[in-house]
Amino acid sequence: MASHRKSRTPGARVAGIRTPALATAALTSVALLSQTADAAPSDDGRPSLEEVEKKVDDLYRQAESATEKYNGAKEKTAKQRKRVDTLLDDVAKRTQTLNEAREELGSFAAAQYRTGAGVPDTATFLLADSPQDFFDRNQLMDRMTGRQKAAVDDYVTQQSETMEKRQEAAESLATLTESQDDLKTAKATVQRKLGAARELMSKLTAEEKARLAAAEEKKREEAAREAAELVRQQEAERQAAEEEARQPESGSAGASGTSEPSGSSGSSGSTSTAPSASTDSSYAAKAEKALAFARAQIGKPYVWGATGPGSYDCSGLTQGAWRAAGVSLPRTTYDQVEAGTTVPVSQAQPGDLVFFYDDITHVGVYVGNGMMIHAPKPGTYVREESIFYDGESSIHSVVRPA
């Protein structure tokens, strides 16, 4: 995932996201780059270092957005192809059954012809444009035996059902073709955006690349300070909650003057908190497994569209991590953000999913202490990093799966 810079309207925040307490890393990066690169194009017409960095960031963002569309189209295509295969198998079986019914009717016609018993109406039936046309013209059913009638009924039913399934298969094939076209379009977009980003970076001098790397390091330091601030806020909220929880107990005990009401109050409090404690314990056990998986992937390369085991994109990593905990997450960030309960950033717990940007195109697994494990962007590796790596304003929401 690139270090994407994206502005928000001051004060406009998604529910559950805390108000910025520090300057964002994105603003820090701009200030740093202003110190290390000319804002205006150089004399030779080349863009400034700041302009290149912003353009590359934008291209990476666009590539990751296209990657999630590719992931969704790939999943849809796989499901549609499976459906088409199932329908075609069904059509083949029904066609075989229809042929067998046709052969049975043909045997009746042959027998009538050999014996000269009656008019060869069955043969005429087989030559008609449709069974119904024949019935309307010749009133065959009045001249058939019970066995012949059953054979015709079976043939008509099999023919009708087979035609319906063929039509359904044809429609599914058309849908599959559309999904394949969407897949090709998304793939081409990803490759085009990444190619443009690589081309821009290839034109930078060694000195310019070093200055960009230094600016990135400064951003990471700012992100680490944001994470430390989050930890302090979480600790303050925890202490405040504990203090608030103690106050009703002491008030109840002081008012009663007896042990029985106090015991009742304690029992009631235990009953109300026990389910929550049980839920937290169950979630923590699953989260531990998800995090163990994510940690084991650190150092593996980011590859768009990858779901492991040798490489991952962002949503492929989170999906794999929670699969290891026995929880099935959807493939894309757009769907994963709906697969759980949204919580405030200040209440994030290890294992939660942290989503980024208004278009929800990036995700990581929360580790604790303001840190996460994620697959950042092309050219990087799975790593542990502050959730403020691209500034507080880039955080979209935190979701607790399962």
Point out the residues that are catalytic.
Answer: 314, 362, 374
Neighbours of 273 (CB within 10 A): 12
- Residue 314 near residue 364, CB atoms below 8 Å: yes
User: CA 290 to CA 353: how far, in whole Å?
Assistant: 11
Cβ-count burial of 347 within 10 angstroms (0-12 exposed, 13-18 middle, 19+ buried)?
middle
Say which amino acid occupies 197: A
* The Cα angle at residue 385 between residues 381 and 387, in degrees rounded to 5: 125
Question: Containing H/E element for 163?
Answer: helix 146-202
Distance CA(33)–CA(37), nearest Å, equals: 6
Contact by Cβ (8 Å): 300, 311: yes
Q: By the 8 A CB rule, do 7 and 393 touch?
A: yes
Could you give the CA distance from residue 96 to residue 107 in angstroms, rounded to a whole number?
17
Question: Both tokens of residue 102?
Answer: 């046709």
DSSP class per residue in 67-133: HHHHHHHHHHHHHHHHHHHHHHHHHHHHHHHHHHHHHHHHHHHHHHHHHT-S--HHHHHHHSSSHHH
Strand bridging mode 395-401 / 362-368: unpaired
Burial 57-96 (b: 16+ CB within 10 A, else e): bbbbbbbbbbbbbbbbbbbbbeebeebbeebeebbeebee
- Give CA–CA dist 81/72, Å, rounded: 14
For tokens 């962002």, name the residue.
Answer: 314
Cα-to-chain-centroid distance, residue 122: 58
Instruction: Dig out the tokens for 193 from the structure.
Output: 């955006």
